[in-house]
Structure 1
Amino acid sequence: MAGVNAMEKKLAEYKCDTNEAICLKLVRFPEDVDDEGTSFHPEYSHQLYGDDEVAFGYKGLQIQLYYSAGSLTTLFKVKYSSKVTEKFECVEPDDVEGKIREIIPQGFCGNTDDFISLLEKEANFKPFGNLIHTYSIHNEEAGEDITYQIHKVELASSGFREYHGRLQTFLMWFIETASFIDVDDDRWDFFLVFEKYNKDGETLFATVGYMTVYNYYVYPDKTRPRVSQMLILPPFQGEGHGAQLLETVHRFYCNSPKVQDITAEDPSENYVKLRDFVLVKLCQALQSFSADKISLGFSEDMAIEAQEKLKINKKHARRVYEILRLRATDMSNEEVARAYRLEVKKRLFGPYKKNQRELTKMRKCLRPEELASQVSQMDTQLQHEELERGYQDVLGEYRRIIERLARA
């Protein structure tokens, strides 16, 4: 038994955290390749390496996935200090290389020198598609304004399909439930963000992030663009690019009379926060959302104007109203604060009322013990506590949006 435990301890030394082992990099200059300060790591690797995100069979495992900053030409190498088969003949290591090969397109470099030589061709890389928005962000470290461009891209653009195949590999590392899309469907729209930078007097472009949008058909002659994937690459996160991209895409679709409204597929918590900020920023300029109208409560005029001018559905328009109403409310005034609280809670109470209606319908077909179980789940006191928690959560979210608006 002691021998078995000793063996287990020895084998445990060959387990590696794949989130730490995978090293990602966006390379602009040859010296970036050996600069550990330019590396970043995945948030997730479970889709390739299992829920425990562990690779077995190696010590000192490093999976290098380096991309040229613009065209995303890829260097892929696997390094380790020792392998389990060198010590234990009967034990097989995980095929860590094969897992990566499942998601990265063919044509990658396996040699650092070849990769560095290809960096010289980055000067030939130009953003795909049509330029639809340009903006600048001041970089404190560089002491200058950096220019960024957002492009709307057609799948048929020369070289874009191959480029997109490399770009979408980042989804696996930073979106928990990511999946690759069927690029042969012409209802997909692609929006890309690029940074302009200089190298030896030449203007080059670096990939910052992107968004994919699927255009659903709405009877009889409309479409409903649904945001599917959105990712700002980690070196650029926290700089405001997500808001710039979402607002630009929203304005792009607002110009089309064929668009019914704009939605998102299974939005993450971070995406909802970003959408709140962008939609409030857009709606505050509408007449129906003016300060004097906000104080009168949510109206059908708000829902109609938000839908017609900004392609925002009624549910999202109501959320925008609540944020703007909070901004205009003196929460130190007990009476107005109570009015605001009751209005938000009335909306939050909607699901509970629906459950009560369903319970009424079920009374005829439920056995007594089943009915008692359902009733206990809807205890009035529990409802009040749940509503209060929900209200406080919403209040916290709204205040963060208002603070960001003030900074903007």
Structure 2
Amino acid sequence: MAYNPEAWTKSSNELVISLCDSESKSSFKPLMTYPIFGEAEQIFGYKDLKIDLAFDAITFKPFVKVKYAEKLNDEVEDVQEKLLEFLPENDTVVDDEIKWVDSFSAEQENLPNYDGIFEKIDEYTSKKEDFVVYKTNFRNEYAVKLLKRLQIFVLFFIEAGSYIDTSDLKWELFLVVKKSDNKIIGFTTTYTYFKFDNAKDFDSNTEIATRNKISQFIILPIYQNGNHGSHLYQAIVNHWLRDPLVKEITVEDPNEKFDDLRYRQDFKRLFNEGFVSKLPENVKSINRDWFVENASNHKIEINQFKKLIEIAYVFLKNTKAARLLIKKRLYEKNKDGLDDLDAAIKKDKLQTAYDNYHLEYSNLIKGLRLKDNFEDEPVAKKQKV
């Protein structure tokens, strides 16, 4: 019989993830598995391989079951052991489903009162269900236990995601929980940096200002399309806006989907505060000092704030102002490369880039429905800002 490598090879992205409760099971697949199974995301050495990774939807107690029809030899990598390296040690049930159900059922009976051990920072309603956003830190032993169970989703759904060090107490955890049954909908990890402009400023302050960063941000796939991401992001931002020591809010390496969410939420905030309507019609007064002062007033990182102002002028249909600001930012960012080009080519490249951004911003604003401000325009492909 001819040897057929394809019969012994399986994509590791075919791993099945399930969230279970007493009545149902919802399953989905990861976006990526290379942090666990390697860059090729292929598992070799098994026929008819099936990997099931299940979690109780409330406690997130994990369960692993690996099945296959035949194993090539004893030299191939042990798939189960490889997966267990990334799950909480001595806390993951393997193969024995009855043991797993008994274990998480007992945990549910003794589930701590979240209102007693976590800080409630927001509540909201989506699709007639009530949700609570909680904040905690890793002095809380239950928060550490939860994160160890949840963190594998970072590897599955965040490009270049990695586990955090919970012994570093500048990390915090935010959770979205369904109020009726304590099911966890999503979570975010955040980090706090000290922020000061110079040593003299640092030495003269008894209360040190901070720069707070959203790091890992996940709404679990079965709960997406319910505006939970927007609610979670805004809950965190509002919480930090109320804290006088937090001077700047930023995000670590956002992907395009999160970038859009962030632009929408930050722009809506500026709009609702009346800031957009008060922008100067002539942008000659908008210099670096103006950007620094106003970005600081709104606790927005400076580069993010510049893009929001560009979006604002597109929203206001002040084409001249939008064009000047966008082209100026692009030129400053790419000055070395552009200065090597002929004047006509440089002008053409800046105009093409401006046209793309104007279209992208226009489509982003249309999704906000703040007011009927645009004619029908073609949908833009996402540009790298």
Alignment of 1:312-323 (within 5 A): 312-323=300-311
Distance (Å, rounded) in 2 between the aligned partners of 1:96 and 1:255: 47
Distance (Å, rounded) in 1 between the aligned partners of 2:276 and 2:319: 19
- Give the corresponding residue for 2:279: 293
- Is 1:237–2:230 an aligned residue pair? no
Alignment of 1:193-272 (within 5 A): 193-197=176-180, 204-219=181-196, 220=202, 221-272=208-259
CA spacing shift, 1:343–1:30, aligned 2, 3 Å: closer
Deviation at 1:301, TM superposition (A): 5.5
Deviation at 1:30, TM superposition (A): 5.0
- Give the corresponding residue for 1:386: 349
Q: SS state of the match for residue 349, structure 1?
A: helix
- Is 1:29–2:16 an aligned residue pair? no
Deviation at 1:407, TM superposition (A): 7.3
CA contact (8 A) 2:139 2:169 kept: no
| Aligned pair partner of 1:14 in 3, 8, 32 | 8
CA contact (8 A) 1:250 1:262 kept: yes
- Give the corresponding residue for 2:31: 43
Query: CA RMSD for the aligned pairs?
Result: 2.4
Distance (Å, rounded) in 2 between the aligned partners of 1:118 and 1:168: 20
What is the TM-score normalised by the length of structure 2?
Answer: 0.84
| Aligned pair partner of 1:283 in 248, 258, 270 | 270
Distance (Å, rounded) in 2 between the aligned partners of 1:392 and 1:96: 49
Aligned length: 352
Distance (Å, rounded) in 2 between the aligned partners of 1:389 and 1:208: 41
- Is 1:105–2:98 an aligned residue pair? no
- Give the corresponding residue for 2:329: 347
Distance (Å, rounded) in 2 between the aligned partners of 1:352 and 1:11: 48
- Is 1:79–2:67 an aligned residue pair? yes
Distance (Å, rounded) in 1 between the aligned partners of 2:320 and 2:301: 27
Distance (Å, rounded) in 2 between the aligned partners of 1:71 and 1:343: 49
Deviations 1:198-253 (A, max 9, x none): xxxxxx21111111111111222321111221111111122211111111111111
Q: SS state of the match for residue 406, structure 1?
A: coil
- Give the corresponding residue for 2:79: 96
Report the structure, 1 or 2, having the larger helix content: 1
Deviation at 1:101, TM superposition (A): 1.3
Q: For residue 103 of structure 1, what is the amino acid of its counterpart?
A: F
Deviations 1:18-74 (A, max 9, x none): 101x11111112542xxxxx2100100111111110001112211111000111011
- Give the corresponding residue for 1:141: none
Distance (Å, rounded) in 1 between the aligned partners of 2:366 and 2:143: 39
Deviation at 1:296, TM superposition (A): 3.6
- Give the corresponding residue for 1:160: 143
Q: For residue 327 of structure 2, what is the amino acid of its counterpart?
A: K
Q: SS state of the match for residue 405, structure 1?
A: coil
Distance (Å, rounded) in 1 between the aligned partners of 2:350 and 2:224: 34
Distance (Å, rounded) in 1 between the aligned partners of 2:31 and 2:49: 17
- Give the corresponding residue for 2:121: 132
Q: Which has the larger radius of gyration?
A: 1
CA spacing shift, 1:98–1:353, aligned 2, 3 Å: same
| Aligned pair partner of 2:48 in 60, 70, 75 | 60
- Give the corresponding residue for 1:367: none
Segments of 5+ residues of structure 1 without an aligned counterpart are 33-37, 86-90, 139-144, 198-203, 330-335, 360-374
Identity of aligned residues (%): 27
What is the TM-score normalised by the length of structure 1?
Answer: 0.80
Distance (Å, rounded) in 1 between the aligned partners of 2:233 and 2:93: 34
Distance (Å, rounded) in 1 between the aligned partners of 2:342 and 2:41: 41
CA spacing shift, 1:146–1:315, aligned 2, 3 Å: same
- Is 1:404–2:367 an aligned residue pair? yes
Distance (Å, rounded) in 1 between the aligned partners of 2:364 and 2:312: 10
Deviations 1:274-332 (A, max 9, x none): 11111101111334422x53534374666534422x31133222221221221221xxx
Q: SS state of the match for residue 256, structure 1?
A: coil
CA contact (8 A) 1:306 1:317 kept: yes
Q: SS state of the match for residue 278, structure 1?
A: helix
Deviations 1:132-188 (A, max 9, x none): 1000011xxxxxx01111001121224221111011111111112011111101111
CA spacing shift, 1:384–1:237, aligned 2, 3 Å: farther
- Is 1:116–2:116 an aligned residue pair? no
Deviation at 1:108, TM superposition (A): 1.2
Distance (Å, rounded) in 2 between the aligned partners of 1:238 and 1:296: 39
Distance (Å, rounded) in 1 between the aligned partners of 2:324 and 2:139: 52
Segments of 5+ residues of structure 2 without an aligned counterpart are 197-201, 203-207, 372-385
Q: For residue 26 of structure 1, what is the amino acid of its counterpart?
A: L
| Aligned pair partner of 2:319 in 309, 328, 337 | 337
CA spacing shift, 1:57–1:147, aligned 2, 3 Å: same
Q: SS state of the match for residue 400, structure 1?
A: helix
Distance (Å, rounded) in 2 between the aligned partners of 1:210 and 1:379: 50
